[in-house]
Structure 1
């Protein structure tokens, strides 16, 4: 039975409604698909049949309007009929925000402030997250990832629950392996397995893991302008994170943001259906790059001369000749004992970790601490493709062995995550490197750090060449650079020609280079007295905050849990940055 006219709709109390918590019956503490929210008092109950907690609540308290927290349908109890009334649309939008294609495309142009039920103004996408006891690190990572445009758009599209297709470049094999010995025969073995294939993948949101589903839900709430309150409670997501990590990341325990974002992205990749092959999910398409790691170490050659064989001719008339030959063999062995072996592997990454050099904290004339600085370009020397760095590598027998390693970036992702290694564990607690790492907020050029052997030499066509192209060639031009979406909906050839000319002149130069703009910065701040004399743990006692930019106004905001304030971009570049997320200029995804 369905009724469009319910006499109890005026009893709905929107100010009492909060859908951010887990749907659990307040009386039986059970969860599942049969939980209902009372729209009069906001309490959750199980069932709607006779003698169920929801039914008894409606009879005893006179509360008649309920919402099924799984299907999103409204019911009147105890009469037990479905309510279909347009006046409840705002409740449904607050419960489960939905975004059309037009809504998603207009998000970065939106300047209008929303207003909650209590009259408080807020900017969609820039709402506070409740701190559930030392969950500020998780909040900062969530806010940062929620402002990565292709990731945000993907999860906003998943809100309807309907399946859709995306195109991914999935690797046909795993990695490249090269082995080379210096000082021997110089043989080099190389297997290139970097081929990728464009594949259409069907995304079914109903198959997502609990963690991926909760993350998508919180992203949609952050970017909704139809909420009843201007804050979001991340309780469901934090609980899913705690379960998935076996309480490695949980309430009441501060996280290392670099470790957490690495784990979290991997869980999202698996949770939305990603596999072992590179490029098999939207996470890989956005954040995955490739790097060649060359390990250089000394290797002793197996030689039968390790044990001295006694020649049975010694003591004969030819003893002098025999001794000379043995000495020559010994000298030859000595020259070949230590052979430098280089082993190169090409592997994929979702983030790059940078080591900050240790620098002492000095005091100025007034006794205050002078925080040292080290520019980001200096720290990136680790990935210059030339320098060999000393590292300790664990061996199968548990012993650490010293190696020299060189890192060469083969391919940078369209969204690059840089993690600054600030914390180091000693015998008692964590030590923090407080060195300030200045970096450019816009036009960060990383071209010189990319060494790709098979990188095609691309030359932009001239305006004359573009005007002489036919429609097929124009579309192929856009497709070559991953911007075939620009041609969708274009009917006239002249319009397509002008679009291609505009693309080649304005966007393509940045695409052919490796220039990046900052889109999110996560910093860690501690009080001045924390960390002195080993009295406090800087990781546990510090706090995280996130800096993100509002695209429509170019204004940067600092978000720390529920506190949101404007900030100058010059301040971001000299903050105690921990995790940086850069977006390639004019990237397709």
Structure 2
């Protein structure tokens, strides 16, 4: 070990273009010619590094680290940059020490990828550098790189790609085209030179968290929420769930990943803690229930209140719904098959309440089927099930008549198709297929608002489907959740669709999307100036 074990040496890099990704750095003096450069820097000793000011780190002092002065300065070979193994680096997991399980002052070994606490003489990272001969570490909070046990602070341009994978950053210019067809024309490449499109990558199904993976993908493809998270720059005071969700969004949309997949482990660990164990990695669950919990929790952590547009969640997904109710009275002259109706001569109670998603009832499948009908899956149009919200269709429940109509539609509408119902013994699944166009669904018929209301034509951007073994009961053990995501947008040949099931990402044909058993959908309001490039006429009320 060199005599400079107690000194901290800083090597500053000059400005310039980011070099190409490389796994190793050659031990050549020319390689470090820029280290120590800059007009206001001291002239480097031997052209390698310059003494840095003492590290003012109270935590390091707890481990016996302090500033020291030595006569010898580090050589190029002391920096050990050629030992970095990018293939083993994985910053997706919770940043805790692999020995003490502490998340305070954690460093990642850039040789083996393990996490250790501290870098002082009595720290686990220091011991690891001696016993395993691994010398390059990165601070997982500040992204500064150090060589242990000597304590050199290295700032070399070749390490910039590692810092970007650890903490991706975005600008308004870099995210402006994520929803346009041009994004599909610029594939990225991982360390193995495999192409991928940022944003459309697989998420690890660690145990049984695929029902949460589809919700993560769906929300992070809603442009206002996605852009808000990508441009966030949290300083440590924000709630932990919000910070981890923003970090996950940046990793999913990172165009410079080392591997074309991401693990949501760090975010889901915080979900487990914040939900009190309700949503766990090892337990299969309901994505609709998780979506409702996540939206409300993010709303609170963004500083939202009960007022509309008080957070990015409310301004994106919240609408208003009017519900009218009336007591059912059976008339003596009514026939046995006559359905109860609203009586305008009696009191009708009307209440208006906000909503984050609309529940859609599916027609019950036939109770008795012959041998032929058993092979036929019932189908229903999206317009017929949306009729629940036209203000005319009535529903009877607990002696009350109800009818619904929207008062205000949000920029993004979330539809929940209620496929699962509980009876006394089991939870049953409705296999009815809902047919829908990918573009041009007009919600005007389900809206009671003035003409000044924004456009009511919506296009689909995300579709979550459920697959299980054949049968009418819900099998939670043998179940699969998938999500269809729109890429490009605008219709026509520039718009593509991807089907993602955990780590499996594949392009799918548009006409195959509605064949799945949809459970959740997210629809995006089309702007008044948006062209209808797919050649499909928008279906309006007059078309029915």
Could you say whether these structures have the same fold, taking a TM-score greater than 0.5 normalized by the shorter chain as the test?
Answer: yes
Of 213, 216, 233, which residue of structure 2 is paired with 1:139?
A: 213
Q: Which residue of 2 aligns with 1:479?
A: none
Answer 1 or 2: which has greater strand percent: 1
Task: Verify: 1:126 aligned to 2:200, yes or no.
Answer: yes
Where in structure 1 are there 5+ consecutive unaligned residues?
162-204, 300-338, 393-401, 459-510
Structure 1 residue 367 displacement after superposition: 8.3
Asked if structure 2 preserves the Cα contact closer than 8 Å seen for 1:64 and 1:77, the reply is yes
Whole-Å separation in 2 of the counterparts to 1:409 and 1:437: 21
Rg comparison, structure with higher value = 1
2:435 to 427, 433, 438: 438
Compute the displacement of 1:363 (Å).
6.3
Structure 1 segment 187-226 matched on structure 2, within 5 A = 206-226=236-256
Q: Does 1:388 align with 2:460?
A: no
Q: Which residue of 1 aligns with 2:523?
A: 582
- Secondary structure class of the residue paired with 1:380: helix
Q: What stretches of structure 2 of length at least 5 have no aligned partner?
A: 1-7, 13-47, 49-75, 330-344, 530-544
Q: Deviations over 1:254-276 (max 9, x none)?
A: 22122221111111111222122
Q: Please tell me whether residue 31 in structure 1 is matched to residue 103 in structure 2.
A: yes
Q: Does 1:526 align with 2:468?
A: yes
**Match status 1:559 vs 2:500:** yes
**How many angstroms does 1:527 deviate by?**
2.3
How is 1:175-194 mapped onto 2 (pairs within 5 angstroms)? Answer: none
Give 1:340 shift.
3.9
Cα distance in 2 for residues equivalent to 1:112 and 1:362:
53
Inter-partner Cα distance in structure 2 for 1:367 and 1:585: 39
Residue 352 of structure 1: how far off its partner (Å): 0.5
Is 1:66 matched with 2:137? yes
Partner in structure 2 of residue 428 of structure 1: 425
CA positional deviation for 1:236: 1.0
Which residue of 2 is the match for residue 515 of structure 1?
457
Residue 101 (structure 1) aligns with: 172
For 2:439 and 2:116, locate their aligned partners in 1 and report how far apart those are by CA, in whole Å: 51
> Normalization by structure 2: what TM-score?
0.76
Change in Cα spacing, 1:45 to 1:361, as seen in structure 2 (3 Å) is farther
Flag the structure with higher helix content.
1
Q: Contact (CA 8 Å) 1:140, 1:545: kept in 2 or not?
A: yes
Equivalent pair of 1:441/1:518 in contact (CA under 8 Å): yes
Q: Does 1:377 align with 2:318?
A: no
Mapped partners of 1:92, 1:51: distance in 2: 26
Give distance in 2, aligned partners of 1:364 and 1:563.
38
Q: Contact conserved, 1:520 with 1:580, CA < 8 A, in 2?
A: yes
Aligned-residue offset at 1:368: 5.7
Aligned residues of 1:114 and 1:121 also touching (Cα < 8 A): yes
Aligned to 1:291: 321
* Contact persistence 2:328–2:401 (CA under 8 A): no
SS at match of 1:582: strand
Work out which of the residue numbers 57, 63, 82 in structure 2 matches 1:10.
82
SS at 2:178 equivalent: helix
Cα shift at 1:520: 0.3
Q: Give the RMSD, CA atoms, in angstroms.
A: 2.1
Please give the TM-score of this superposition, normalised by the length of structure 1.
0.71
Structure 1's 215 and 362: CA in aligned 2 closer, same or farther, altered over 3 A?
Answer: farther
Whether 1:264 aligns to 2:294 is yes
Which residue is 1:547 aligned to? 484
1:113 to 164, 182, 187: 187
Alpha-carbon shift at residue 215 of structure 1 (Å): 1.3
- On the 8 A contact 1:256/1:539 being kept in 2, the answer is no
CA shift in 2, pair 1:368/1:427, >3 Å? closer
Q: Name the structure 2 match of 1:149.
A: 223
- Are residues 151 and 356 of structure 1, via their aligned partners in 2, closer, same or farther at CA, if it must alter by over 3 Å? same
Equivalences, count: 435
Q: Which has the higher contact order (CA 8 A, sep 6+)?
A: 1
Q: 1:298 to 1:355 in 2, by over 3 A?
A: closer
Q: How many Å apart are 1:364 and its aligned residue?
A: 7.5
Aligned to 1:229: 259
